[in-house]
Structure 1
């Protein structure tokens, strides 16, 4: 028996080695048109970037070593130019152009795929490359070495494109990425790609989404290439890498009369045999039915190609004994510090093919949160909305992404469901996972969606319906103050049962929190209290904010070398290179979610003197983005910030303007504001807190002095039992029992007006009085209750909210003397 294999990479080399193990006596010929066989093509970008230092490490086997070990006739630089199935012969062209014929008994096609090189003007200019093999790698490496490359444009933001962007950046090159789609990494959904967009920008990559290249021209000075985009913009480059996709190499098969499939790949049956007897095919060139859809598709991945090589060898040597089960498309990529992986079908593909589906998004950590350096991890599932059959999964994080996707891929390939994820046993110890692994949590959430226990809404659905629902933010006032969905009303989870009057029953509700858990708990409370139309936002505010956040406009400026901390002009304050004699106070906030890190910073800044520095390390990307804004509003200075492997390090210097107040750097040095609230009218109380919050947001020191009827605004809803005299009891019966019972100063209409006012506030997205009060406290507004008024009206300190201090006229006069604005309301 004589076996001939066309193509010596991945599937072809694997099949050749397996054939020899199965059949020791037969002749095996391996033909490769390039110079190399069995090389690590997935490692090529890392060699270009210098991460892999030795070129030889990419070559798994040389033609000589492979041929000797397996007794295979390996012929490199031998290209098959024609197949004659009737005579079972091949026409082969040598490197010198001469041709010869070779016979076969059984033939395997493993020609791979060819990079797309569109017919654009200027496409033939020097410095424009594709990357598919070792020869391409050598050309790019030589160009980087010889041409002093400072700028590169990567056209296409798929796996290879982003890996090349990272490695060029690692080599000290400023990188721009141009992508026709609205996201990078097409196999994943937009919401999962959004954090990747932010990460690329943080690393200094200029990202041009929804842009296409129209032509290339030489730079006017003759040094470089000008890349023109469909928007009219242009980018200068010293190197251009085209990574806009590949096409199956089917020319040889087509000319031999071998059937091509619907997608343009070589058609094969379940034994990987083509339409011509004794000719088989594997790898990037074939199409095969997707196990989940039954529809033919092309799968350009190394793992399936190697598996196909093993199966086809058995079928060629032993007769068609083994059926190929198909591949669901499990892939992973390193994008700077992030790891991005997917398996199965994303939501957009399910929608495209008209398949009924539901999805869930959960946010967890790589291991137990209380163990050091727990890094965030986001997991998305797609599944059948009734049976729970798993369709796909996507994961983005810094550690532990691979093992989660690998486990889920195994479940999907065996026809598993979300319930299988719940039942999967995971190894657990704090350094490696949590008692409830992110996979199990994802399964529980998906099962709640299927059962109806958690009616859900996606960020995209919410964007379309935002004006038709009431948004309830169940996070703390501190979290709410750092940003929320426009129009959302802040009703913290722990206050929800006492503030049901702020939540309408006659309108559709969407509740949300940071990642979804508190939103679910709030949803269960509302459903248990008779609310019917309540949905929880999938993935919470973290998913929503990342998906809708606009990307900064890219520029043609050079990006910073990888790993360099940011300084003024690059996203941080001036003075990055300044050195201080005293080491900064270091805080580890890894594992904490917003607002945990920023609250840690605030606590630390209150303990240090002006001019001192605090360095905080966090794993919450939101903190890194918010640090500069926080410093601007508090009068502190952002010295530097950088990130590495999901850990964000921020160095902040306490503002010297705060020298007069060493215990609290909370102002920008301007004079404060003082308000006296004498009224308990709802509208006047609202005005007071709106003014106070506005002043506090500018960094001003704000005090509110509550006297006489204004004390009613501070009463607790649930007050402890206290001893009162007869006059205190009379005041208690006649006055509002809490802020929830306040009346309007005009048109109160026996309470109807105040209820109507609160309803209109909710409908217009205006915060409730109680929410405004909480926000004021969160911003450091000082609440002072008049001691004399309390005594006169029989109000005890225990009846007022806990954050209030008690003072007299001297306290007020001191605050008024320090302020440049005093308001009486």
Structure 2
């Protein structure tokens, strides 16, 4: 069996490795037009910022190592330029010599990855403008910084790699500007969570310009769509990637709705004996079952292993993804999985939304707060998505949520998880458990939640609320919601008689716990429409900035 793989980064090498483990007799060969194989794209910003000292650390394997370990031939600087699927023949060009050769296959795997998008901006071809995608990019950027000593840099795009680069360049003492055409950073997050990241970037001296586009790049500056001029000795294009499908399209491989190659759960395309894996291939959502494209090395490795197993007689299947991601931005970790609020609403779900603000571990040991935004389906209680921001413990919680959601957990299931507890690591009621409890109460027991966004929307429509601040007077005096009346929880039972039972009531505290207690008191006293402000005053004040 002749297995031919086009592409030798995470997905392609995973196909080859798994196929070889299953079958010692298969003839396995990989072609790649690049210089390097199996490297860590995600590690490049940390090499640029000197957290990774040696570039070879991101590129530890070469074709010779792969040949010795797996008996797989990898031919770099060899570009597959044409395919005849009727005769199963490849045409390959040696990019170093210009020589053209042919090869045949029984099984063909597209692992051609994705390429960084180049926005339609005058000046992107200039020598100080870089993409952040390959080991060659990394080496060129490092050499530029070392030789030219840039003082200013602009990053066009505010996704994961753009934010990582902002952090690392700031650590190098370079003045950084982020230019983003939408009104928030990190499009996979809801704006109320993304704004917390913007605040952190600004606190570290990063100039964040939202709702603006670059229209021209010169040797020393960038001109924006609003006519602003940004001094820039160095420019990075980080506006996203596009799957490399052109070669596959030549033989009529079908693309999916996302623009990537459509595959089934066995990574098979519409053509017999043709597979696609990694950043060139489309995945699907565990939540909705619909196509989803989130190019990540972890997903690429998984897809490659599945294809390698299926090709050699195994029965592995791809179970979909949640679109999980995590990024570090200075002291913050930001994680997300599943649907955000806007995506859930667009899919037609009737959602309950909770902002849970809790310490990651015991406060008396210095535990710092995590802000968790969780979204559940009111009809079924199923957890649909989670976003989390904090200085510690975010990765642990996101992974717990991911595991639960992968197996279809409902909000109520989270409370029953037997999570590890000791004060240095968690709290007795872990933020994950409390998230499930509060969401379940909101869904089943009518402990209604109202987000700051929903409150503003309803008030703009002319609705009127009795707003009760249940905190101590000194906290109320420091900051509170406009028109709120300060009634500390201990006084609420006596003063409830002064409230109008026919008018909606909104209770709030600092983060939500005391507001929920006040809500329960009023509900027990017969007040019917009582809300607790999701995330309390802390969340409201961030939202209103």
- Counterpart CA distance in 2 for 1:355 and 1:60 is 45
Residue of structure 2 in register with 1:351 after alignment: 345
Residue of structure 2 in register with 1:480 after alignment: 476
8 A contact 1:176–1:207 mirrored in 2: yes
Residue of structure 2 in register with 1:217 after alignment: 218
Larger radius of gyration: 1
Residue of structure 2 in register with 1:421 after alignment: 414
- Counterpart CA distance in 2 for 1:438 and 1:498 is 32
- Counterpart CA distance in 1 for 2:39 and 2:492 is 61
Residue of structure 1 in register with 2:145 after alignment: 144
More relative contact order in 1 or in 2 (CA 8 Å, sep 6+)?
2
Residue of structure 2 in register with 1:369 after alignment: 363
Residue of structure 1 in register with 2:308 after alignment: 313
Which residue of the other structure, out of 478, 489, 492, is the alignment partner of 2:485?
489
Secondary structure of residue in 2 paired with 1:141: helix
Q: Does 1:533 align with 2:526?
A: no
Residue of structure 2 in register with 1:750 after alignment: none
TM-superposed CA distance for 1:97, in Å, is 2.2
TM-superposed CA distance for 1:237, in Å, is 0.4
8 A contact 1:301–1:329 mirrored in 2: no
Residue of structure 1 in register with 2:238 after alignment: 243
- Counterpart CA distance in 1 for 2:116 and 2:352 is 35
1:582-633 C-alpha deviation (Å, 9 max, x unpaired): xxxxxxxxxxxxxxxxxxxxxxxxxxxxxxxxxxxxxxxxxxxxxxxxxxxx
1:232-255 C-alpha deviation (Å, 9 max, x unpaired): 212110011011111111011011
Which residue of the other structure, out of 400, 404, 409, is the alignment partner of 1:407?
400
Residue of structure 2 in register with 1:548 after alignment: 544
8 A contact 1:40–1:60 mirrored in 2: no
Equivalences for residues 10-409 of structure 1 within 5 A:
10-95=10-95, 96-218=97-219, 224=220, 226-318=221-313, 321-370=315-364, 372-409=365-402
8 A contact 1:85–1:276 mirrored in 2: no
Equivalences for residues 479-628 of structure 1 within 5 A:
479-549=475-545
TM-superposed CA distance for 1:492, in Å, is 1.3
- Counterpart CA distance in 2 for 1:247 and 1:118 is 12
Runs of 4+ deviating beyond 6 Å: none
TM-superposed CA distance for 1:426, in Å, is 0.6
Runs of 5+ unmatched residues, structure 1:
219-223, 550-825
- Counterpart CA distance in 2 for 1:435 and 1:161 is 37
- Counterpart CA distance in 2 for 1:209 and 1:150 is 22
- Counterpart CA distance in 1 for 2:301 and 2:539 is 36
RMSD of aligned Cα (Å): 1.3
1:238-285 C-alpha deviation (Å, 9 max, x unpaired): 011011111111011011211111221111112111111111001111
Secondary structure of residue in 1 paired with 2:81: strand
Secondary structure of residue in 2 paired with 1:61: coil
Deviates more, 1:156-165 or 1:77-86: 77-86
Equivalences for residues 646-725 of structure 1 within 5 A:
none
Secondary structure of residue in 1 paired with 2:471: coil
- Counterpart CA distance in 2 for 1:419 and 1:82 is 54
TM-superposed CA distance for 1:502, in Å, is 4.5
Normalised to the residue count of structure 2, the TM-score between the two structures is 0.97
TM-superposed CA distance for 1:501, in Å, is 4.5
Secondary structure of residue in 2 paired with 1:478: helix
8 A contact 2:504–2:529 mirrored in 1: yes
Secondary structure of residue in 2 paired with 1:36: coil
1:81-105 C-alpha deviation (Å, 9 max, x unpaired): 1121111111111122221111111
- Counterpart CA distance in 2 for 1:435 and 1:60 is 43
Secondary structure of residue in 2 paired with 1:107: strand
8 A contact 1:272–1:280 mirrored in 2: yes
- Counterpart CA distance in 2 for 1:460 and 1:517 is 19
1:120-140 C-alpha deviation (Å, 9 max, x unpaired): 222222211111111111111
Secondary structure of residue in 1 paired with 2:312: helix
Secondary structure of residue in 1 paired with 2:447: coil
8 A contact 1:367–1:433 mirrored in 2: yes
Normalised to the residue count of structure 1, the TM-score between the two structures is 0.64
Secondary structure of residue in 2 paired with 1:266: coil
Equivalences for residues 767-782 of structure 1 within 5 A:
none
- Counterpart CA distance in 2 for 1:389 and 1:112 is 33
1:42-82 C-alpha deviation (Å, 9 max, x unpaired): 10100001111111111131221122111111111111111
1:522-549 C-alpha deviation (Å, 9 max, x unpaired): 1111112222221111111111111221
